[in-house]
Amino acid sequence: SMMKEIDAHATADRQVVFFSHPLYETAHASASFDTMTKIIAAAQKQGMIVFDDRRGSYDHTYYINSTHPNGKYFSELVRKTTALR
C-alpha cells in the first residue's frame, strides 16, 4: 500500500506519522467513515503511527470552516508528534 511505501522511509532518527484530521460535524454513520476506520486499524496493526482525530473533541475554534482545521489544530498535532520522542 502507499502507506507502507511511505512508512518505509522511517529511520531511527525519523518517524513517519499519518493523521486523519477532524471534521467539524455531527458524528453519523457512513460507509466512508467505516472504510477509513478499517484502513487506520490495519495500518496501526502493522506498527504504523496513525493519529485518528476524525471524531476528536475539537470545538469550533480549531477550524477555518466545517472541513478544514486551522493552525490551532496543527499546533496540537505538532505537540502530539513531539510527545512521541
pLDDT in tens, 40-72: 999 999 999 999 999 888 899 999 987 899 999
Q: What is the pLDDT of residue 26?
A: 77
Which residues have a Cβ under 8 Å from the Cβ of 19 and sit 6 or more positions away?
50, 51, 52, 53, 77
pLDDT at 23: 81
Reported as a single tens digit per residue, the pLDDT across 19-30 is 999 887 777 888
CB 84 within 8 A of CB 15: yes
pLDDT of residue 1: 83
Which amino acid appears at position 59 of this protein?
A: D
